[in-house]
Amino acid sequence: MGFTVIKGGTVVTAEGERRADVLIEGETVKAVGQNLDSPAGARVIDATGAYVLPGGIDPHTHMELPFMGTVASEDFFSGTSAAASGGTTTIIDFVIPDPKERLLDAYKKWRGWAEKSAADYSFHVAVTWWSDAVHEDMGTLTKEHGVNSFKHFMAYKNAIMCDDEVLVQSFSRARELGALATVHAENGELVFRLQKEIFERGITGPEGHPLSRPPEVEGEAANRAIRIAEVLGTPLYLVHTSCIDALEAVQRARMEGQRVFAEVLAQHLLIDDSVYRNTDWNHAAHYVMSPPFRSKEHQTALWRGLQAGILQTTATDHCCFCTPQKQAGVEDFRKIPNGTGGVEDRMGVLWHHGVRTGRLTPSEFVAVTSANAAKIFNIYPKKGTIAPGSDADIVVWDPDKTRTISAKTHHQNIDFNIYEGMTITGNAAVTLSRGSVLWENDQLKTEKGAGKHVDRPCFPEYWNAQALRNRHAEPTAVKREKPAVSK
Ligand code: URP
Ligand code: ZN
Ligand code: ZN
């Protein structure tokens, strides 16, 4: 088993930063300390002047997702490779069964697709319908396949949307299994109605997309999911929180002691809704994703939510569609496949706009790009930190390296980049996944199939105790004499 030593850098974890070397044996961190000796024959990586960070975890991606009549253009190999070039070494993707499809069958299909991954991956499984078979498969997935989170789409009516009955059934089952319920919070019934009204008013272009999905639609669904979870005593995770309305619902619940977590996408922090009014249809269509980009006041609030810990994780919802795929909706914005890319750029744009602006410290950056996701999804400290015994998923991060983001130079399999032209300082110099170098000297060295599935056990220590405390007091009946019943 080979040794690698990363020498002379500043090691950053969510707990703090210190000058230290990192000794790796094979796939695992062996020691972190000052002036570590290099074993004979060890590979030495010089990290002088650089930060040494845990590899990023993107808890929300959709590689090769079949969606809205097409298939996302990024596959598990190209996607995990692009991720590695930007410092992300683990993705948590989504198995999305068709309504009536067995969860287990869908899960096996996705596991097959993911075998080509260059870096590690895990899966949330979506519950898109309800039956005894779904109840049973949730149990099998948690007990035998390392799944500890179930996703619920409250939008996408007539496709994968869950109604309240499904939410209640599935949240209850998740609680029983010690799994986390997650939601895409948008009221799909309202979206459906607003889409129709807007289209019938003659607004057929991409600008119709945000008009049909206003913040209230997200706020209502976020609050409903939170309240359902509260009544059932189920911990909850909101994906892609994009607006003040949802943020406030999360904040209120957390202030009440409820175990609610929330994710924000890098792009919702950095891009506003003016993109939908671009006169180039293709350009505007590339920003069609749900929830949509919001006005600047929402972006400011999201940054504050991240700083305040109301939002704990950052993700990308990486779901790529190339221009010809987006053009399926050229006559009707409702048919534009929803999704944007960004798995490659998340760490870089957050460092530039988060750390370099003083909004986040390097340790806070680690918390929101890896450690918190690792804790919430129960893969900490295997992932999300640099400590003896952890997987050697490590990024040597050059805080002075500048690049201008462009579709011409990115590694993502999509012909557009939502951050096109943005110059950022702070980038991955070397990326290691379980001790193997995937990215170095601006070159990818990824291998098909090198990534492994990461099992995620249920009942995470990180949130379970609190979840149990949130349970309502056991109801009791009142002892009383039966009244005389008058005839
Ligand atoms: O627009 C999006 N976000 N597409 C991917 C599916 C989802 O809603 O997460
Ligand atoms: Zn979603
Ligand atoms: Zn998504």
Nearest CA to ligand 1 atom 3: 290
- Asked if residue 338 has its Cβ within 6 Å of ligand 1, the reply is yes
pLDDT at 314: 99
Residue 470 has pLDDT above 70, yes or no: no
Number of domains in the chain: 1
Percent of residues, the chain, with pLDDT higher than 90: 96
Assigned token pair, 285: 């269509």
| Residue 9 in domain | no
207 alpha carbon – ligand 2 mean position (Å): 19
Indicate whether 397 pLDDT > 90.
yes
Do the beta carbons of residue 391 and residue 73 sit within 8 Å? no
Q: Is residue 122 part of a domain?
A: yes
Give the burial string for 372-405 (b: 16+ CB within 10 Å, else e).
Answer: bbbbbbbbbbbbbbbbeebbbbbbbbbbeeebeb
Q: Among residues 424, 465, 397, which one has the least CA distance to residue 11?
A: 397
Q: Is 340 in the pocket of ligand 1 (CB under 6 A)?
A: no
Q: Kindly indicate the confidence band of residue 200, based on its pLDDT and cuts at 50, 70 and 90.
A: very high
pLDDT digits (tens, 9 = 90+) for 253-306: 999 999 999 999 999 999 999 999 999 999 999 999 999 999 999 999 999 999
Question: For a pLDDT cut of 70, what percent of the chain falls above it?
Answer: 98
pLDDT (0 to 100) of residue 467 = 53
Instruction: Please say if the pLDDT value at position 445 is more than 70.
Output: yes
Asked if residue 358 is part of any domain, the answer here is: yes
- Residue 280, domain CATH: 3.20.20.140
Order of strands across the sheet with 88-95?
56-61, 88-95, 120-126, 149-153, 180-184, 236-238, 260-265, 313-315
Helix, strand, coil percentages for the chain (3-state, nearest 5): 35, 25, 40
Which tokens hold the place of 178? 């010690």
- Rg (the chain; Cα; Å): 23
Q: Is the pLDDT of residue 449 over 90?
A: yes
241 near 250, Cβ under 8 Å? yes
Instruction: Say if 11 falls within a structural domain.
Output: no
Q: What pLDDT does residue 165 have?
A: 98
Identify whether the C-beta of residue 403 lies closer than 8 Å to the C-beta of residue 388: no
Residues 245, 239: Cα–Cα separation, whole Å:
14
Report if residue 176 sits inside a domain.
yes
Give, for ligand 1, the residue of 58, 60, 61, 62 to mutate: max count of ligand atoms closer than 8 Å to Cβ. 62
Rounded CA separation 69/417 (Å): 22
- Res. 79: pLDDT tops 70: yes
Residue nearest to atom 9 of ligand 1 (CA): 317
The per-residue pLDDT for 410 is 98
The 10s digit of each residue's pLDDT in 158-183 is: 999 999 999 999 999 999 999 999 99
Tell me what the mean pLDDT of segment 130-154 comes to. 98
Range of the domain at 78: 53-442+452-465
**82: Cβ contacts below 8 Å, ≥ 6 apart:** 74, 343, 344, 410, 411, 412, 413
Residue 468 in this model has a pLDDT that exceeds 70: no
Q: Is 61 in the pocket of ligand 1 (CB under 6 A)?
A: no
Residue 456 belongs to a domain: yes
Any domain includes 24: no
pLDDT at 473: 66
Kindly state if the Cβ of 319 falls inside 6 Å of ligand 1. yes
- For residue 339, how far is its CA from the centre of ligand 1 (angstroms)? 5
What is the per-residue pLDDT for 62? 98
Q: Check pocket membership of 366 for ligand 1, CB cut-off 6 A.
A: no
Mean pLDDT of 40-59: 98
Q: Which residue among 289, 320, 333, 414 is best mutated to probe the pocket of ligand 1, counting the most ligand atoms within 8 A of its Cβ?
A: 289
Mean pLDDT score, 151-156: 98
Q: What is the mean pLDDT of residues 233-259?
A: 96
For the chain, the average pLDDT equals: 97
Q: What pLDDT shows up at residue 465?
A: 55
Note residues around ion ligand 3 (Cβ under 5 angstroms): 317
| pLDDT interval class at 135 (50, 70, 90) | very high
**Is any ligand 1 atom within 6 A of the Cβ of residue 182?**
no
Query: Taking 70 as the threshold, does the pLDDT of residue 134 lie above it?
Result: yes
Residue 13 or 476, more confident: 13
Residue 26, in any domain of the structure = no
pLDDT band of 471, cuts 50, 70, 90: low
Beta-carbon contacts of residue 295 (< 8 Å; ≥ 6 apart): 272, 273
Mutate to test the pocket of ligand 1, among 182, 319, 340 (most ligand atoms within 8 A of CB): 319
Local confidence band at 355 (pLDDT 50, 70, 90 cut-offs): very high
